Amino acid sequence: MMKNRGIGLKLILLILTSVTLIFFLIFGYNYLFSRRIIIKNVEKNARNLAQATVNRIDMVLRSVEKVPKSLAYFLESSSYSGGDMIDLLHSVVENNPEIYGSTIAFEPYAYSRNSLCFAPYFYKCKGKIEFKYIPYKYFYWDWYQIPKELNRPAWTEPYYDVGAGNIIMSTYSVPFYKTVLGKRQLMGVVTADISLSWLQKIIASIKIGQTGYGFLVSKNGTFVTHHDEHLIMNETIFSAAEARADARLRELGREMIRGKSGFVPFSSILTGKKCWMVYTPLSSSGWSLGVLFPQDELMADITNLNRIVIFLGLAGFLFLLVVIVLISGSITRPLRALAEAAKDIATGNLDIELPTIKSRDEVGKLADSFNYMKSSLKEYIKELTETTAAKERIESELKIAHDIQMGILHKIFPPFPDRPELDIYATLEPAKEVGGDLYDFFFMDDDHLCFTVGDVSGKGVPASLFMAITMTLIKTKATKGLSPDKVLSRVNEDLSIDNPSMMFVTVFLGILNIRTGELEYSNGGHNPPYIFHKNGDIEPLEMTNGMALGVVEDFSYQSKKFVLQKGETIFLYTDGVTEAMNEKEELFSEERLKKDINALKDKPIQEVAAGITEKVKAFSQGVPQTDDITMMILRFYGRD
């Protein structure tokens, strides 16, 4: 899918995904780590706070405990009167601000045989110290019965004291004894009541953030103080757990009343807010202090930080998005423009203005190369056009030259229809537009026919010019009465003078007496022609040992003579025939030529020429012709 998307989208997807991933990894780690640190600190502070509070309360309770204890000690160890006892109680309540009330309650008839109950009670009421005898049978009340049955001092559960001012109080009771006949006998209990309002004040002063608070539960789990007044003395932590069907809370409550301490995650029973709770017991009364630390408030800083970090991350994300869009745009825009331009260039429009790219980066270099390529192409095409034009001009000139060259050769056969003594046919097939082969025949007088075949060294225009010169020279030099050797010598002379290009031409020149068949010939380095004898033999004409013309100025050529019988044929050719090559770089060769001539010798001369041409073409089979192919066939009939 990505394959078809643009670079920009790919960059955005890949980079932003990676960056987001990295961001969240860092963020997550940071969050967890800082959270752990905060929780650790919270726990430390929470434990310290709880312990400090518990110590404050314990200090008061311990000091209160001392009073009834020493009173009990006094009662056990001294003899006292009723008046002493009442004075003592009065001063206890008066001198101990923490003590709300105090009594010495005796066992039934223990103080006096006449009274079942005896319990003088001093207590504070509206700033004054009041006195009364406890008016009810107190023997089965917790504050009396529990220390009695346990035989040790004990704090009571907190309770509403209905008689004395609707306050919550708790009583510390110390049993005291008398030894009668060696037996330790309970005499009664000494008590000190404390109002729990100061305790509630201490705990109410615990404020953790906006909603954190402390609470105290008694030995039975009853709420002694709590943020929610409905719970105080009304509910226990266990009834709260039952109401909320919260087994964890119940278990926590059990931990608390067992005197354990701890730091646990907790949901506020008031608000359901997530909190941490630290709990620790009062060593004096066995009650337990719990303090709730609202998580969200303690985590407010880290939450804020996280919010900012997320915001920054988001802003960074957007910034990055914009940057990537810009960068990818700066890359892909010129690339797209270049691609468009390339498409235009491909259609041949080299004049198109390439997009200007100022940057010096890879894209800039690409654009430069593109520009260079465009101008090079343009230049090249311009040159190509010029060259082509030049070539075309040359070609047309060569065409004309070809036409001229062909024009100077005989084209109409039979050339001498009024001369039945002989038939003559010639063909010249240049390898290029113009060539260096030549043939010619003309009558020097009524009886003598001069004929010649030549081959200029080299090819092309120089050779054709040399050929034209040679032909012209031959025509002008071959005057009546001159023998072939003389003609060649003269032509050679002229060609050799001013021949700076050191060109040369092989020429065979013969003069035939068409009355007698007498042939006088001279050969300037050319291939010896074949004679088709009457008896069917084919053999080359005897050599005259002449060298090519244009080489040595004063070379003297020799002539030889031969008499043609009626019906005999002379076959002249240039080496274009025998040196035609096939694909295997084999030459056509004189043997093959001789063989083919043999097969064709009785045919009309035009057919012979056509036949050989065909054979050569068939042999070379598509290999381009490298040399001019020239043949001239002369058949002698003689006069009747």
Partner 1 sequence: MPRYKIILCLALFFFITVEAVAGEKALKKAFFIPQWVPQAQFAGYYLAHERGIYKKHGIDLTIIPGGPDSPPLDFLKSGKADFGTLWLSTGIQMRAKGIKIINIAQVLQRSALMLVAKKSSGIKSPQDMNGKKVGLWGPIFQIQPKAFIKKYNLNVKIIRQSFSVNLFLRDGVDVASAMWYNEYHTILNSGLNPDELTTFLFHKHGLNFPEDGIYTMKDTFQRDPDLCRAFVKASIEGWQYALAHPEETLSIVMKNLQKEHIPATWVHQKWMLDRMKDLILPEDPNIPMGKLFAEDYNRVAKGLKDNGLIKEIPDFTFFYRECISHDEK
Q: Point out which residues bind partner 1 (CB under 8 A).
A: 139-142, 145-146, 149-150, 154, 156-157, 219-222, 233-239, 242-243, 250, 253-254, 257
CB nearer to partner 1: pick between 229 and 301: 229
Q: State how far the Cα of 500 lies from the Cα of 435, in Å rounded to an integer.
A: 20
Instruction: Tell me how far, at minimum, the Cβ of 241 lies from partner 1, in Å.
Output: 9
Instruction: Tell me how far, at minimum, the Cβ of 203 lies from partner 1, in Å.
Output: 20
CA-nearest of 409, 259, 301, 414 to 38 is: 301
CB nearer to partner 1: pick between 255 and 447: 255
Q: What is the number of residues in the chain? A: 640
CA-nearest of 571, 580, 626 to 427 is: 571
Instruction: Tell me how far, at minimum, the Cβ of 254 lies from partner 1, in Å.
Output: 5
Bond into 484 cis (ω within 30)? no
- Measured at the CA of 536, the angle between CA 485 and CA 628, to 5 degrees, comes to 50
Instruction: Tell me how far, at minimum, the Cβ of 88 lies from partner 1, in Å.
Output: 28
CB nearer to partner 1: pick between 41 and 220: 220
Instruction: Tell me how far, at minimum, the Cβ of 284 lies from partner 1, in Å.
Output: 15
Judge whether 69 and 172 are in contact, CB under 8 Å.
Answer: no
Three-class SS of residue 616?
Answer: helix
CB nearer to partner 1: pick between 250 and 592: 250
| Tokens 């359901």 sit on residue | 272
CB nearer to partner 1: pick between 188 and 454: 188
Instruction: Tell me how far, at minimum, the Cβ of 232 lies from partner 1, in Å.
Output: 9
| Tokens 């100061």 sit on residue | 198
Specify the pairing of strand 159-161 against strand 167-180: antiparallel
Q: Terminal CA-to-CA distance of the chain, rounded, Å?
A: 100
The tokens describing 385, both together, are 């056009």
- Measured at the CA of 425, the angle between CA 422 and CA 429, to 5 degrees, comes to 165
Judge whether 137 and 220 are in contact, CB under 8 Å.
Answer: no
Contacts of 561 (CB under 8 A, 6+ apart): 518, 519, 520, 521
CB nearer to partner 1: pick between 173 and 620: 173
C-beta atoms surrounding 563 within 10 Å: 11
CA-nearest of 105, 131, 130 to 118 is: 105
Give the phi and the psi of residue 215 in degrees, each rounded to 5. Answer: -150, 160
**DSSP letter assigned to residue 584:** T
Q: State how far the Cα of 84 lies from the Cα of 63, in Å rounded to an integer.
A: 23
Instruction: Tell me how far, at minimum, the Cβ of 47 lies from partner 1, in Å.
Output: 23
CB nearer to partner 1: pick between 277 and 431: 277
Instruction: Tell me how far, at minimum, the Cβ of 201 lies from partner 1, in Å.
Output: 22
CB nearer to partner 1: pick between 108 and 604: 108
Instruction: Tell me how far, at minimum, the Cβ of 168 lies from partner 1, in Å.
Output: 12
CB nearer to partner 1: pick between 45 and 145: 145
Judge whether 457 and 505 are in contact, CB under 8 Å.
Answer: yes
CB nearer to partner 1: pick between 243 and 381: 243
The tokens describing 597, both together, are 């001539």
**Residue 37 belongs to what H/E stretch?**
helix 7-77
Instruction: Tell me how far, at minimum, the Cβ of 172 lies from partner 1, in Å.
Output: 14
CB nearer to partner 1: pick between 51 and 239: 239
CB nearer to partner 1: pick between 44 and 258: 258
**Residue 410 belongs to what H/E stretch?**
none
CB nearer to partner 1: pick between 23 and 266: 266
Give the phi and the psi of residue 351 in degrees, each rounded to 5. Answer: -90, 0
Instruction: Tell me how far, at minimum, the Cβ of 149 lies from partner 1, in Å.
Output: 4
CB nearer to partner 1: pick between 280 and 506: 280
Give the phi and the psi of residue 43 in degrees, each rounded to 5. Answer: -60, -45
Three-state DSSP string of 257-306: HCCCCEEEEEECCCCCCEEEEEEEECCCCCCEEEEEEEHHHHCHHHHHHH
Instruction: Tell me how far, at minimum, the Cβ of 248 lies from partner 1, in Å.
Output: 14
Instruction: Tell me how far, at minimum, the Cβ of 171 lies from partner 1, in Å.
Output: 12
* Angle at which helices 590-600 and 605-620 cross, to 10°: 140
| Tokens 């021949």 sit on residue | 499
Instruction: Tell me how far, at minimum, the Cβ of 76 lies from partner 1, in Å.
Output: 22
- Is the sign of the CA dihedral 58, 59, 61, 63 positive or negative? positive
The tokens describing 352, both together, are 């198109």
